[in-house]
Structure 1
Amino acid sequence: MGARESIRTAVRHVVPPAGLTRALAVQAMVFAIGHGLFQAGSAVFFTRALGLSPAQVGLGLSLAAGALLLGTVPLGGLTDRYGPQRVWVVCLLLDAALFATYPFVTGFAGFLAVVLALAVTGAATGVARQVYSINVLRPEERVTAMAYQRSSLNVGFGLGALISGLVLAIDTIWAYRGMVFFIAVVFLVTAGFVRRLPRLPEVTRPTEPMSRLAVLRDRPFMAVSLLSGLLSAHQTLYLTVMPLWILTHTDAPKTIIAALVLLNTVLIVLLQVRASRGADTASGAARASRRGALLIALFCVVLPISAQTRGWLTVVALVAAATLLILAELIESAGTWGLTATLPPAAQRGAYVGAFGLGSQVQFLIAPAGLTALGVSTGGWGWYPAAAIFVLVGLAIVPAVARAERTPRLGEAPESTRPVTPVP
């Protein structure tokens, strides 16, 4: 009986409850199938199907990242103006149209136009999806629902990667063209899911609309955004820096990198909901962020051990370090959701959620080079100052959130408490 109850509990933490939480999780999984498929197969598609050089692909993606950084806050303002559900659906339809044009792209200029447009729609989709989830759910449900969505996203990413493996095995131009057409269909289906979700109640707007960039003047909030964004470096550490460390400083087989990526996916699917407990308030989210920071610091201390070991001991050290970083990711992600759900004002939530994402964009600009230089290029001693940095960020984020809570938000208006009812 105990084993049966344990299985039921485990299932409850993976399969979302019926209703709106499950509907949001299902759309997340469908969307992630297309996104994961393209992530896994895009490099080969760009070079084989479009005939681009690796340098052209790298330049185009870097310019798209710059457009994403510049456009996040203004695009969040569009969500406030037109409503998150409408922006979400329109951007998914645009994504479908853009992916359908990929097979007809010729040359770098056409590729750049499509990839820049996809960066813009992707940024708007991310903000709109998050704002809708926050607005449509009760406060006590928000973080848990986002955790279910993230778990479902990872399932979708895994399915997309499997499909990508089939495409890469066939390895023909028509297979790659079929891949992007399939992705376009996935986004159309996702748009249909989103359109059928319950409509949101109107949120009270301020009489004088706030400038789309005014949120950047909210210094306490932007300080939290920066600190939380720096903690999202766990992504860079796991997918970029740790693999480089494994290849250059350990005797572990290269295949362990793929095994650790699989471990990450499995643990997120199984544990993300459990790890999100207690992060549904600003103070609880701040403490979760602090725990995540300290776990990242501990990872930075444990990983260098793998350079001093041999054989199976190296594998054990790497799995231990990876597990610490996965736990940090699980807990820190819950902290981020809690902060974005509680700190922004209802009337300007899109602009604030967009501005909150600037912290992670800054991390993506500085962390790959900075953490690689500290951890990998120094031979190992640089991991210890890196650990100290994360400890300091963790210690700073709790008082920073407390200060942001005490400071009125720009354009703050009371949040509507009317229940959300499905549209017949």
Structure 2
Amino acid sequence: MGARDTIRTAVRHVVPPAGLTRALAVQAMVFAVGNGLFQAGSAVFFTRALGLSAAQVGLGLSVAAGVSLLGTVPLGGLTDRYGPQRVWVAGLLLDAALFATYPFVGGFVGFLAVVVALALVGTATGTARQVYSINALPAAERVTAMAYQRSLLNVGFGFGSVISGLVLAVDTMAAYRGMVWFIAAVFLVTAVFVRRLPRLPEVTRPVEPMSRFAVLRDRPFMTVSLLSGLLTAHQTLYLTVLPLWIITHTDAPKILIAGLVLFNTILIVLLQVRASRGADTAPGAARASRRGALLIALFCVVVPVSGATRGTLTVVVLVAAATLLIVAELVESAGTWGLSATLPPAAQRGAYVGALGLGTQVQFLIAPAGLTALGVTTGGWGWYPAAAIFTLVGLALVPAVARAERTPRLGDAVPPTPERVTPVP
């Protein structure tokens, strides 16, 4: 294969094919510009522009995360009741309105109200966006379309981070106010974009619809949710635990941390679509998640070696460990999308997709403290019990998915099967 063919292949795995898949990926990129801008600049905005202390910011974000956890399942039910596109658009409009109010927030109480509202809206919007993608695309294209969305999402995050750097360099109140108003405008543009996507036909719902918390009684599915959610700890490992390990237990230069974040973004943009192959069925998604779990476990075995090396060898070990974790993220993400596209029943998809995210929310509550304690505060030996935990989770996931697939979902007479919903022109 010549250089030209190689470039064409690489482009084909980054640029989505024309049609709905491309439209969904482009909206993801536009949305991520605003989201990435705020993620990169939020800490400084909260302390400099709003005058909050670091403790107040941390407390407010923790409260918002807890409220979001409680709202995951009932907010997912809104998508089933009102339709994913309607909830998606309404959520983006609320996001825009809330960001527009940020410069007028006075004190901790106002800040808390806005971040809690944003967390709840984000939970509802995230579920609606995913359900729309599932409902609008044929079964064979769903996971690939989500992979394209994630690839361009990272491109958008990159643009947002660059803009954030400019805002932080200017470092004036006017710049910070302009930043959040720009983000509000991005969400308004995204809402218009989503409003113009194809309308979907109504999904036939049961005569007696489930209560919003009934999905929690589906034990096989909730087992999958918990196990799959625990594997999203690769995010915590890469962005929190690994940097802490580098700073406290290795002689690697601190700039390596920023380099590894950039490395992560580049590989996701280039490889996410390829890594999603084979995850468009429940068994394939389970196997992808298992591979992700075993790669996370291997990362946990390799990374402590960097605590005993010096100089260039330390950097080599850390880059190798980071590569394992990035590949784990690529295949685990594809596995999660496959599970969300195949296991939930069409009539209750919002509630079930929301419930699938419950495991991820649990991970965000326990993983930062738990994995930091194991990997960093133990001096290194705690990485090995962590590896064992991820190995067990990965091995348990495949039979758990098989059991969930055999078990009828609540409100269904038979186990769910993939279907295609044709958009209405």
TM-score, normalising length from structure 1? 0.98
Output the CA distance in 2 between the equivalents of 1:334 and 1:327.
Answer: 11
**1:98 shift after superposition:** 0.5
The CA distance in 2 between the partners of 1:47 and 1:372, in whole Å, is 25
Could you tell me which residue of structure 2 aligns to residue 152 of structure 1?
152
Residues of 1 paired with 2:265 and 2:420: CA distance? 36
For the residues of structure 1 that align with 2:173 and 2:53, how far apart are their CA atoms? 16
Q: Structure 2 stretches of 5 or more lacking a match?
A: none
Question: Aligned AA for 1:116?
Answer: V
For residues 46-98 of structure 1, the C-alpha deviation after alignment (integer angstroms, 9 at most, x for no partner) is: 11111111111111101100111000100000000000000000010000000
TM-fit CA distance, 1:411: 1.5
Q: TM-score, normalised by structure 2?
A: 0.98
* Residue 174 (structure 1) shift: 0.5
Residue deviations 1:173-227 (CA, integer Å, cap 9, x gap)? 0000000000000000000110000011111110001000000000000000000
**Could you say which residue in structure 1 is the equivalent of 2:120?**
120
Q: Map residues 127-206 of structure 1 onto 2, 5 A cutoff.
A: 127-206=127-206
Q: CA deviation at 1:412?
A: 2.5
Q: Which residue of 1 aligns with 2:412?
A: 412
Aligned-residue CA RMSD (Å): 1.0
Structure 1: unaligned runs, 5 residues or longer:
none
Q: Which residue identity lines up with residue 238 of structure 2 in the other structure?
A: Y
CA apart distance, 1:16 = 0.4
> Residues of 2 paired with 1:416 and 1:326: CA distance?
31
Equivalent position of 2:71 in the other structure: 71
Partner residue in 1 for 2:280: 280
The answer to whether the aligner puts 1:421 opposite 2:424 as a matched pair is yes
1:2 Cα offset (Å): 2.2
Q: What is the CA deviation profile of residues 331-358 of structure 1, one whole-angstrom value per residue up to 9, with x for unaligned ones?
A: 0000000000000000000000000001
Query: 1:209 and 2:212 equivalent?
Result: no
Stretches (4+) displaced over 4 A: 413-418
Map 1:361-376 → 2, pairs under 5 A: 361-376=361-376
Correspondence list, 1:101-112, <5 A: 101-112=101-112
Query: Which amino acid is the alignment partner of residue 326 of structure 2?
Result: I
1:316 counterpart residue number: 316
CA–CA separation in structure 2 for the residues paired with 1:361 and 1:273: 25
Give the match for residue 402 of structure 1. 402
Q: Taking every aligned residue pair, what percent have the same amino acid on both sides?
A: 85
- The alignment partner of 1:314 has SS state of helix
Gap change, CA 1:101 and 1:48, over 3 Å in 2: same
C-alpha separation in 1, matches of 2:123 and 2:80: 14
| Aligned AA (1:389) | I
- CA positional deviation for 1:416: 6.3
Indicate if the aligned counterparts of 2:139 and 2:420 stay in contact, CA closer than 8 A.
no
Report 1:225-374 matches (<5 A).
225-374=225-374
CA contact (8 A) 2:147 2:272 kept: yes
Letter in 1 for 2:424: T
CA contact (8 A) 2:250 2:306 kept: yes
Q: Please name the residue that 1:81 is paired with.
A: 81
Distance 1:395 1:107, change over 3 A: same
**Preserved CA contact (<8 Å) 1:204 1:416:** no
Does structure 1 retain, via aligned residues, the 8 Å contact 2:92–2:187?
Answer: yes
Tell me how far apart the structure 2 counterparts of residues 280 and 416 of structure 1 sit (CA, whole Å).
12
Match for 2:100: what amino acid? A
Give the drift of 1:417: 4.3
Aligned to 2:221: 221
Question: Cα distance, 1:3 vs. partner?
Answer: 1.9
Q: Which amino acid aligns with 2:166?
A: L
